[in-house]
Amino acid sequence: MVADGTVYRWTVRHKHADRDACREVLSLYRDGVPTRIVFRAGEVGSGRYVSDGYWYAGCVLDGRGNLLNLREPRVVRAVVDEVERRGLLAGRGEVDGWELFRPVVEVVDAVEGARAATAADVSRAAAATPGVRPGCPPGP
């Protein structure tokens, strides 16, 4: 569910079609209408890699150390936000996922960075609390 109350269902599939390359497909359903975000595998060195049994199912990589796991709710939410921002959900059947890859990675990395910073702040606060034995987990 997003801020305006819209509810999305989603699925992730790994697909092959005849002679076509492997692809990961994230299907978003709003009011029963699907929009498919398709990540097609590219040639070796293209920077467009899909799991295809090498990584966790549902993963797409750019060859530069960036990986999105399309089965993670935070990744799906970032994809939904990006597709909505671009206006691609209104009756669109298929969207090239690689066009969304970089902005989604940036959002997911920013959220992860904020979480790590918060965890570090909590650890520093716990360490600075008088009477806390070394090695104790942070707590109230």
Q: pLDDT tens across 3-35, in order?
A: 678 888 999 998 877 666 789 999 999 888 889
**pTM for the model:** 0.74
User: Does residue 99 lie within any of the structural domains?
Assistant: yes
In a domain, 137, yes or no: no
Q: Is residue 138 part of a domain?
A: no
Residue 2 lies in a domain: no
Count of the separate structural domains present in the chain: 1
Neighbours of 10 (CB within 10 A): 19
- The answer to whether residue 122 is domain-embedded is yes
Which residues in the chain land under pLDDT 50? Answer: none
3-state secondary structure of 16: coil
3 domain residue, yes or no: no
CA distances from 138 to 57, 97, 134 (A): 35, 40, 11
Burial annotation 16-41 (CB, 10 A radius, 16+ → b, else e): eeeeeebbbbbbbebeeeebbbebbb
Domain that holds residue 79: 8-126
